[in-house]
Structure 1
Amino acid sequence: MVYAIVDIETTGGFAGKSKITEIAIVIHDGEKEVETYETLINPEQLVPSYITGLTGITQQMVDGAPAFADVAAEINDILSDKIFVAHNVSFDYSFVKRALESEGYMFNNKKLCTVRLSRQIIPGHRSYSLGNLCESLGIQIDNRHRAGGDAKATAILFKQLLEKDEDAVRAALKHNSKETILPPNLPKTEFLALPESPGVYYFLDAQSEVIYVGKAINIKKRIISHFSGTSKNNRNQAIRNEIHHIDYELTGNELVALVLESQEIKRLWPKYNRSQKYIANQWGIYRYEDRQGYIRFNVNKQVKGLKGLIQFNSHADAFHYLMNKVKEFELCPKLSGIQKANNECYDVALGYCRGACGGTEEASTYNLRVEELIKSFSDEDRSFVILGEGREEDEHSLILVEGGNYLGFGFCHKEVSISNIEDAKTLVNNYKPTVEIEHYIQSYINSPEARVLEFS
């Protein structure tokens, strides 16, 4: 096997926005270096001052260098059919792959990460950063934080790893090893122990602080997608470099996972959970009466002090919910804000509307059906338990709502009888409601698969 040991310098941390400023490649046959390549590259964008401070690469230096397009063919030839090796390989590989593919080259080399290999083959070191690891092993780095110096040091490190345990290196190349996609600081044993079940997972940093909370139907599969390229997000590169541990909590089903995820994000405020850190604008369905006496509806953002008939997390959710209700109660889509027709609504001909928009149905008759629809909105006085699959085969999950208010969730044996709300309260842990949880519950109880136990 022939290895291409690569190091790059860039204008920033993400391949989607930043560009390569320098690349060095050491070709290694497993015993010795056989070829080297090194060049500065004009990124065709500004080099930030903090990058210059770290690497010493200035704007003036790259302005006179070739653009990547000028050297792409040569780099592609050098890397072709080689195993791509780097210290924290996903970083270097993502930049090189993106740059080559932008020039029309297909790039899908096998890859190896010397961070992960070092953790496995030479465990017990205080730090596995290239500088600290090389210092511990007595490997001298000339020209630190420049591509040439770091690539040569990585080549020496890689040779030592091969000499200590070549079998481990070969094993890491197997497609199903997952070695090349895992975060560099995550112990492989933790990944292998992850369940393929519904639940909530936690990414922890070196200080065991939670930096991200997520939910999944299959925890292991979802975590793989964070780092395999099937989940494309600029945050992933930053997150993966900070992950040192993964924890999880099984929930038995997706609804409880959604509920627990929302609660944990509000409790922990992880730095990489942006979507639920801010209270979303709620939307509501509102009623009003026109000059002819017809009760009408519209969908609008919820205004402080003015509560709608029913609340949703998005305009689309509210609109589609109302549209289905209008069909169910044979109301006029024009009067309900669903259609914007100049004359009578388009649904008169289809038989969904009885002609109220054309004045052929009196307001008093029409409004009776409107009031029936409004009654169907109201869950304010409902108390119920939502039953779901538990964490084990003989277990139920329970989500408890009393008087329209979410109280919490829990688990119980399937043989446990729940005959009243007081029984249910002994089986759940109390939690604070969130806007998201109320939305999840409302969406679920209106679905055909809902298993709801009502209390009078």
Structure 2
Amino acid sequence: MLPCYVLLDLETTGGSPVNDRITEIAAVRMEGGREVARWSTLVNPGCTVSPFIESLTGISTAMVATAPPFAEVAPQLMALLDDAVLVAHNVRFDHGFLLNEFARADMALRAKTLCTVRLSRALYPQHRSHGLDAIMQRHGLSTTARHRAMGDVDVVSQWLQQAETELGADHVAQQALALLQGSAALPPQLETHVGDIPETPGVYRFYGEGTLPLYIGKSIKLRSRVMAHFQAATREAREMRISQEICRVEWTETAGELGALLLEARLIKDQQPIYNRQLRRETTLCAWRLEDQPKTRPLVKLIRGEELNPREFDRLYGVYRSKNQALSSLRELADTHTLCLQSLGLESGKGRCFAQQIGRCKGVCCGLEAPEVHWLRLKLALAQQQLQVWPHPGKIGLREYNARTGRTDIHLFDQWCHLATVHDEGDLEDALTSSAPALAFDLDTYRLLLKHLSGSGKPGVELIRFPARD
């Protein structure tokens, strides 16, 4: 198949290359089509083997108790892999464990890898399943040591020999070499051809077997970012879980990074991918509204959700992602600026508040401070958190142009809200004249737009001001 390669299989205490450990290694080195070395060993993982893993592999805690730790067998395995391609069924799993184990032993593994799951897909595209059990059944292969390292290595070896007999050794070698050119890092079950993903700005979506995405991300170089996920799977548990579930990748190109950020935020809030921890739908956004009359009690009111009207931002302060966060911020502000907790609605009762009794309030609650003075001090304390009023008389556009692709995106905004993204003058006119539904405030869009309007955003984005329309 290849001039020099090592067929390898591992048994482990679990599926995470970061947290779990190797319990058994088997390797067969092939040179010029001949087996030149065969080696296997149990490995002491330094932890117990769970009952589930023991029932699956037959390897128990007692069996590995006297086995050598990985650090002792690492030099022998490294010598076996020297100048050889590492070949395994779902090689990313085995390669990930080896990378972490060698790193713990202060050794660096540098080996090209070839996945026989992907090779099976390339050689037998008419079949849907390419797991080892499916291959054994389809090709009439057998072993008395399934889920033991050397037993599984022998099954893969038998399959490779049968494939060469059925399809020709040259064809198998040709497909193996094609896969060797950078695709071995891909999840074996991935149906999407990564080479089709463009190196342009945009948003990518990872899907499993269902219709809802597992993860949504953005990048100015889509293909490179997608590949970075797969390469990180050997080091990060979340990336490993995504790689184990992903079946296909879909993407949408944009003219630039601003369009990608806007689209990513909208899609994540609409579709709620399970692996996106940030940019989720803001169902509990709230802000403090300062009352106009100094004698009003309480002086501030919590405004939530759809009540967050950008046209009232001159009276709103925040924004907070929860009521608890808003209350905590207000208490901290009161403590820092000796404000009255009663007047803020943070403490019930009448007369001297507790903070005044311990010298942390100047006494607006008991007539020692004028309400107008206290109101002014509160307003000054809140000033740094005040939301910015929309600085334009009407709608604006931010135009992005990509000289490489020739794509133009015009992002239309009003009152800090993203109304639409259009690509030509006709669509722009329709968007400007349409009677859009009530605007919903979005914190991520607000912060993103603030950066661009203040000049701290990415260069190459042109501001277009539209006259106010009746």
Bin of the TM-score, shorter chain as denominator length = 0.7 to 0.9
Judge conservation of contact 2:390–2:416 (CA < 8 Å) in 1. no
Which residue is 1:219 aligned to? Answer: 222
Question: For 1:165, what is the secondary structure of its paired residue?
Answer: helix
C-alpha separation in 2, matches of 1:59 and 1:124: 42
Alignment of 1:408-427 (within 5 A): 408-413=419-424, 423-424=431-432, 426=434
Matched position secondary structure for 2:255 = coil
- Aligned with residue 451 of structure 2, among 405, 430, 443: 443
**TM-score, normalising length from structure 1?**
0.73
Partner of 1:172: 179
Kept in 2, the 8 Å contact 1:89–1:114? The answer is: yes
In structure 2, do the counterparts of structure 1 residues 60 and 416 end up closer, same or farther at CA, with 3 Å as the change threshold? closer
CA–CA distance in structure 1, aligned partners of residues 26 and 58 of structure 2 = 16
Q: Does 1:399 align with 2:412?
A: yes
User: Aligned ranges for residues 301-380 of structure 1 at < 5 Å?
Assistant: 308-311=316-319, 377-379=388-390
Q: Deviations over 1:20-39 (max 9, x none)?
A: 11111111225233322111
Counterpart pick for 1:75 among 63, 67, 77: 77
**TM-aligned CA distance change 1:80 to 1:379, over 3 Å:** same
* Compared CA separation, residues 131 and 434, structure 1 to 2 (3 A): farther
Shift of 1:367: 12
Give yes or no for contact 1:408–1:432 (8 Å, CA) kept in 2. no
Tell me the distance in 1 between the aligned counterparts of 2:435 and 2:200: 22
How many pairs align? Answer: 395
Q: Equivalent residue for 1:265?
A: 268
- Return the offset for 1:194: 0.8
Q: Which moved more, 1:108-117 or 1:137-146?
A: 137-146
Structure 1: which 5+ runs fail to align?
289-300, 315-333, 336-365
- Deviations, residues 344-393 of structure 1 (Å, cap 9, x unaligned): xxxxxxxxxxxxxxxxxxxxxx9999999999932388643332325762
Shift of residue 269 of structure 1?
A: 2.0
C-alpha separation between the residues in 2 aligned to 1:235 and 1:374? 35
The alpha-carbon deviation at position 238 of structure 1 amounts to 1.8
CA change 1:13–1:400 in 2 (3 A) is: same
Task: Give, in whole Å, the separation in 1 of the partners of 2:303 and 2:28.
Answer: 61
1:112 to partner: Cα distance: 0.6
Cα distance in 2 for partners of 1:443, 1:310 equals 17
Where 1:38 maps in the other structure, the secondary structure is: strand
2:257 is aligned to: 254
> Unaligned regions of 5+ residues in structure 2, if any?
292-301, 309-314, 323-335, 338-376
Partner of 1:97: 99
Residue pair 2:202, 2:253 contacting (<8 A) in 1 also? yes
Tell me the secondary structure at the aligned position of residue 260 of structure 1: helix
Secondary structure of the corresponding residue to residue 144 of structure 1: coil
2:247 paired residue number: 244
> Measured at CA, do residues 313 and 440 of structure 1 come closer, stay the same or move farther in structure 2, by a change above 3 Å?
farther
Aligned match of 1:111 in 85, 88, 113?
Answer: 113
Q: Which residue of 1 aligns with 2:189?
A: 185
Paired with 1:199 and 1:427, the residues of 2 have a C-alpha distance of 28
Q: Would the aligned equivalents of 2:25 and 2:42 in 1 still touch at CA under 8 Å?
A: yes
Distance 1:112 1:372, change over 3 A: closer
Q: How far has the Cα of 1:99 moved from its partner?
A: 1.1
Structure-2 change in CA distance of 1:302 and 1:72 (3 Å)? farther
CA RMSD, aligned part only?
A: 4.2
Other structure's SS at 1:396 match: strand
- Once residues 260 and 6 of structure 1 are traced to their aligned partners in structure 2, the CA distance between those partners, rounded to angstroms, is 43
The letter of the residue matching 1:453 is R
What percent of counterpart residues are identical? 28
Partner of 2:65: 63
Q: Distance in 1 between matches of 2:304 and 2:439?
A: 26
Kindly indicate whether the alpha-carbon contact (under 8 Å) linking 2:233 and 2:243 is maintained by their aligned counterparts in 1.
no
Aligned partners of 1:16 and 1:234 also within 8 Å:
yes
Contact 1:410 1:428 in 2 (8 A): no
